[in-house]
Chain A
């Protein structure tokens, strides 16, 4: 536990981060920027898992395991997304969302 910090303050911080991520996800028009916003959302939820584990159920470790899995899935997702973006750039020379209108090259 963080001395002097209640669970409410940490939840406030993660909620703010989560909604900044959603704001970026909707307003950005570039695939890489959308990927960055996605990382913000995933991180906010990972902190929530860890904090709930530490503050409410300190005897078990489930929240930590879920956070590790979230980090692993995020790494896999980023690697695939970057591969897709680079391949897309080779085909249509652009990574803007509005230019991406066909599914099969």
Chain B
């Protein structure tokens, strides 16, 4: 059962990812990306990391996609079609990507991974305790740093988005 679900998810993700990077309509491209992100959340559900799947759905599917759709609607006419790269350029990039993919797969399949069979479930409590622990292997410092980063990004986004007025004030000072 899990096997079938995984293959269906993988198929959906690969097809919509290709559609997302090759669609000529901007908004459709974003919606295809949404399907890929939901597929990623499905993979997280399958390997039993429910918290991560929920975070993926809320932050990516709920937040980032809406943000990108907003920016698309603000800067584009909805009918407008994208300018595409030349065919030769596409072909060269595609071949280079295929070579890279072949190299990746060769390295992965020749490596012997020591897989440990298990069926552990991770609760949110484990993740919370790990994030806030002071011991070795605890992640309290990166956790605090990431909160500062988010604050800085938020303030930066507001200042850049406001743009014009602020810089004019700076000139008069």
Q: Which residues of A contact B (CB under 8 A)?
A: 1-13, 15-24, 26-30, 32-33, 35-37, 39-40, 43, 46-47, 50-51, 54-58, 60-62, 64-65, 67-69, 71-80, 82-87, 89-90, 95-96, 105
Contact = CB atoms under 8 A, between A and B. Distances in A.
B14 to A, nearest CB: 6
A74 B61 CA distance: 13
Contacts of B68: 32, 35-36, 78, 82
A65 B26 contact: no
Chain A at the B interface: SS class:
helix
Given A55-B113, A73-B146, A82 B71 contact: yes
A83 B74 CA distance: 11
Interface of B: 1-3, 6, 10, 13-14, 17-18, 20-22, 26, 29-30, 33, 36-37, 40, 43-44, 46-49, 51-52, 55-56, 59-60, 63-64, 67-68, 70-72, 74-76, 82-85, 89-90, 93-94, 97-98, 100-101, 104-105, 108-109, 113-120, 122, 126-127, 130-131, 137, 139, 142, 146, 149-150, 152-154, 156-158, 160-161, 163-164, 167
